[in-house]
Amino acid sequence: MLDLISAIKSLGLFAPLLFLIIYCLATILILPTMVLTLAGGAIFGPVAGTLLNLLGASWGAACAFLITRYLAYNWFEQRKGERLNQLISGVERRGWQFVAILRLLPLIPFNLVNYGLGLTGIRFRTYLITTFIFLIPAEIIYTYCGHAGIKILRNPEQFYKNTGVVILVVTTLLITTFKYMHRRRMQLKKDIDKD
């Protein structure tokens, strides 16, 4: 793992560009991007990694949206089901706010949402700005996890000294996050069922 990271870093200025292209393609091809987000933190650090992850995710989201809207609208329209109809209805009612909720709370997988939102009437500019802004919290967290993970691999003794504190903090964050997500999910479901 550390050798792979060193090899990528040895690409110099091409490393970030290659990373952005891979991230965009993974988003378009509906591949898991969480691994790339963690890798961005491990390879580029918390600040540059967050920026690259945010740009890669936004670029991929924009491409998927535009593919649906301008190249494959009829194909997606014919295959939409109940969940996609709910997504479209939510965006038509709440616009950018619904997109913001989808970005903050992963109710539907990120890559699928990108294609689905291309079927809505939301303006591309609004979609892209909302996506960029509301991806920031998750990108910061996951990028930092990738950065911290690689630091642990490089210096495991330091991790074991603070294991109790780390477990307490992570457990508290997970419980709080899941409770919040569950409440938001139930509220969103009630809003959708009302209409």
pLDDT tens digits along 1-14: 556 667 777 888 89
- In SS3 terms, 114-135 reads as HHHHCCCCCCHHHHHHHHHHHH
Rounded to a whole number of angstroms, the distance between the first and last alpha carbons of the chain is 49
pTM (2 d.p.): 0.77
The pLDDT tens digits for 22-48 are 999 999 999 988 889 999 999 999 999
Q: What is the pLDDT of residue 165?
A: 67
Q: Between 94 and 4, where is the model more confident?
A: 94
CB atoms within 10 A of CB 87: 23
Between 20-29, 85-94, 98-107, 182-191, the lowest mean confidence (pLDDT) is in 182-191
Q: What is the pLDDT of residue 158?
A: 64
Between 4-13, 90-99, 121-130, the lowest mean confidence (pLDDT) is in 4-13
Q: What is the pLDDT of residue 4?
A: 66
Please give the Cα distance from 8 to 15 (Å, whole number). Answer: 6
Q: Between 125 and 165, where is the model more confident?
A: 125
Q: Where are the domains of the chain?
A: 2-150, 162-195
